[in-house]
């Protein structure tokens, strides 16, 4: 956790919210020094001289994992080859680096995923699209305030209502199931999801 819980802060609230630290005036070389082995549990990104470290909350992780489970279920149902890349560090040196919450390549394994998914619980922003554009990720999904928005990279990202990668899936449908993740087991959510798509 980035903030010491011995501070006079509500530790329960800290457990439910992401902890974020932004370091300005940084270089790509500084970014490369942040090793996942030294900073386990943190997601690190770099863009425009700013390094951002995020320690995801329990709720953040639950939502991200539910989305990953539903994407995997979709692929199994429609026999779409998929290669989960998780939070693998993505880079376009020295412009941008990002560790998504969840990511997938489809049809063939790739170094840069076709899909990156971000949960904006109490950290992150749509500015992450700039990082993903510099890296060249085809489609990015954001969950924020109980809404899921899909973006497809053309010359820049454009909002779309139905995924181009998973064509039977709309953002509205996915949103309805993902928003159950804080109160229901992914097993029950997945069963209902597979019946609807």
CATH number of the domain where residue 75 is located:
3.90.1570.20
Do the domain assignments include residue 160?
A: yes
Residue 165 inside a domain? The answer is: yes
What is the phi/psi pair of residue 28, to 5°? -60, -40
pLDDT tens for the chain, 197 residues long, are: 444 445 444 555 555 566 788 899 999 999 998 875 676 778 889 999 999 888 788 888 999 999 999 999 999 999 999 999 999 999 999 999 999 999 999 999 999 999 999 998 655 566 799 999 999 999 999 999 899 999 999 999 999 999 999 999 999 999 999 999 989 999 999 999 999 99
Residue-range definition of the domain harbouring residue 181: 57-196
- Provide the β-strand partners of residue 46: 51, 97
In a domain, 23, yes or no: no
How many domains, the chain? 1
Residue 126 CA to residue 144 CA, distance in Å, equals 10
């Amino acid at each position: 956790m980035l903030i010491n819980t011995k501070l006079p802060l509500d530790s329960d609230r800290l457990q439910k919210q992401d902890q974020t630290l932004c370091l300005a005036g940084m270089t790509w070389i500084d970014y490369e020094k942040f090793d996942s082995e030294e900073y386990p549990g943190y997601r690190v990104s770099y863009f425009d001289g700013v390094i951002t470290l995020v320690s995801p909350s329990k709720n953040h992780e639950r939502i991200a994992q539910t989305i990953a489970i539903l994407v995997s279920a979709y692929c199994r149902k429609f026999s779409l080859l998929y290669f989960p890349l998780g939070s693998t560090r993505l880079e376009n040196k020295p412009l941008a680096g990002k560790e998504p919450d969840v990511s997938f390549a489809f049809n063939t394994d790739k170094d840069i995923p076709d899909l990156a998914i971000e949960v904006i619980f109490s950290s992150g922003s749509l500015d992450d699209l700039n990082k993903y554009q510099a890296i060249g990720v085809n489609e990015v999904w954001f969950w924020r305030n109980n809404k899921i928005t899909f973006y497809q990279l053309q010359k820049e990202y454009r909002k779309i209502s139905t995924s181009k990668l998973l064509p039977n899936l709309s953002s509205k449908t996915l949103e309805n199931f993902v928003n159950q993740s804080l109160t229901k087991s992914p097993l029950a959510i997945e069963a209902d999801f597979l019946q609807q798509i």
